[in-house]
Structure 1
Amino acid sequence: MVKIILNGCNGKMGKVVRSLAEKYSNLSVVAGIDRKSGQGQGVFPVFDNIRRCSVKADVILDFSRPDAMDSLIDYGKEKNIGVIFCTTGYSEEQIEKMKEASKFIPVFRSANMSIGINVINKILKDISAFLYKNFDIEIIEKHHNQKVDAPSGTALMLGNTIRDSIKENIDFVNGREGIRKRAHNEIGIHSVRGGSIVGEHEVIFAGQGETIEIKHTAISREVFAVGALKACEFMSGRKNGLYSMDNLIS
């Protein structure tokens, strides 16, 4: 049985994870961390700060905000358990801290926990360098009106995958305005925010006389919860190191 501490247990994604975890015979959320610590009591204890958590666990699963990162890493080091970061909006400095922490404990980070979006990301690694010669590349991402970061972490993940596979210097252009022609070495990243859109990501390869579109649509938040719980299974008992969805789906 993999025992999970769920950080952000009373948030939108936390509630989805809690509900879905009940369907797994080999997984159990044994404690929750949330500023709304009064909610969820009875199913498992909920603490307003992970430093107050006294429940033994195998992994920490984080669906909260980037500012929780330091306390989760400190707790993971103290208890010698892995941390799975499912949040976006981290600074470069925070990402470096995760890498440093992975020298001591197992750390898993993904900008998107969907299995499908990560399959697309692997496909982009294989095709982008070849298509770049004759195709312009644009990324469009859509999310609900409460999402705080733009472009989305997933759009940046896809963009970085494309850029890393191309030998030329590639520039990201976040949206387009003004009067000028598009440079071939640009990848346009466009953000749409509205309503209750769970998440849509589309990569467009536009060539002469033909267009290739690769699109992923998240119909419900459950797709992210499924990936997160699979990551919990994967990370339980792992040695220290930095892991991602690439490791999980390989």
Structure 2
Amino acid sequence: MKIFLVGASGGMGRTFLSMQDQIEIVAGLASKEGEIEGVKIYKEFSDVKEDFDAIIDFSNKDLVDQTIDFAVEKHKPLIEATTGLEDSSMERLKQASGKIPIVYARNYSLGINTMTDLVERVAKVLADFDIEIVEAHHRNKKDAPSGTAFMLLDSVKKQRQVEEIYDRTDLHRVRQDDEVGISAIRGGSIFGDHTVIFAGEDEVLEIKHKAASKKIFAKGAIKAAKFALGKEPGLYSIKDIMKMGD
């Protein structure tokens, strides 16, 4: 399977480039043209000459619309992993999925996606427990809260009507029953930690996921690319990928 990698010079891009024993990166796109780990890197989509089977995008939200147009032009499956997308980009993804297969997820870790299922189930069973979501990432992550924190919040919302609270500094009141607090921590080189706390009377249940390496996200995206090959046009989720055998 031949992959064109968008965001090749970023942290996730370099992770993919270090895993070429598992995947063939034929070329990539980044802010500066050149070569990384023997792979040709372009600055403009219009200059790309190589053929490939699928596109994996771990770049930034400002580049997503161009990436979608490139995928449609080349008629190739797109594995979209960029977080913090604008509503207009999401709409563009949906429209493009009528022409090509697109897999979109805010987190490609299979462990995290299992966690979202667990959180949904526990939110239903422990209906009177307070819920807090805490996420921690490296000091260079720009968006906060993380896309994964919003995934976990969405799981809660499937079972409860809640209001998310990001800052209690000026509230000056006791916690309300329908609140879900979301806290973001930024520091050091933390790859990504997510905890959902269910706090009841005299007992606390925590569901936690710790990422020890960015490779877990790359492995999920590679699995998604294999899934997308030969699929009909459509917008697919990580849940579809998890149903697929190795």
Taking the TM superposition and a 5 Å limit, the aligned residue runs for 1:178-197 are: 178=170, 179-197=172-190
- Which residue in the other structure is 2:35 paired with? 39
Corresponding position: 1:146 with 2:140: yes
Contact 2:137–2:185 (8 Å) recurs in 1: yes
TM-score (ref. length: structure 1) = 0.92
Give the alignment's TM-score, normalised by structure 2.
0.94
Residue 17 of structure 1 is matched in structure 2 by 16
Runs of 4+ in 1 over 3 A off after TM superposition: none
Unpaired runs of 5+ residues, structure 1, are: none
Corresponding position of 2:122: 127
CA distance in 2, matches of 1:171, 1:92: 20
Residue 172 (structure 2) pairs with residue 177 (structure 1) = no
Match of 2:60 among 61, 65, 72: 65
Whole-Å Cα distance in 2 between the matches of residues 234 and 19 of structure 1?
22
Residue matched to 1:30: 26
- Tell me if structure 2 keeps the 8 A contact 1:51–1:71: no
Partner of 1:205, secondary structure, is: strand
Question: Equivalent residue for 1:227?
Answer: 220
Deviations 1:26-64 (A, max 9, x none): x311111111221327x2322112222121111110011
Give the whole-Å Cα distance in 2 for the aligned partners of 1:81 and 1:125: 34
1:135 corresponds to which letter in structure 2?
F
- The separation in 1 between residues aligned to 2:168 and 2:30, in whole angstroms, is 39
Equivalent-residue separation in structure 1 for 2:92 and 2:159 (angstroms): 25
Partner of 2:131: helix, strand, or coil?
Answer: strand
AA aligned to 1:117 is: I
Quote the Cα distance in structure 2 between the aligned partners of 1:207 and 1:16. 40
Consecutive unaligned residues of structure 2, counting only runs of 5 or more, are none
State the shift of 1:79 in Å: 1.4
CA drift of 1:161 comes to 1.6
Partner Cα distance (1:70, 1:105) in 2: 15
What's the CA shift string for 1:184-234, capped at 9, x where partnerless?
111110001111111000000001111110000011111111111111111
Q: Tell me the residue number matched to 1:100.
A: 95
Q: What code does the residue aligned with 2:41 have?
A: V
Match for 2:158: what amino acid? D
Say whether the 8 Å CA contact 2:17–2:25 is kept in structure 1.
yes
Please tell me whether the aligned partners of residues 77 and 225 of structure 2 are also in contact (alpha carbons under 8 angstroms). Answer: no
Task: Spell out, residue by residue over 1:90-149, the C-alpha distance to the aligned partner (whole angstroms, 9 max, x if none).
Answer: 122221221121111111111111111111012223232222x22011100001111100
Name the % identity. 39
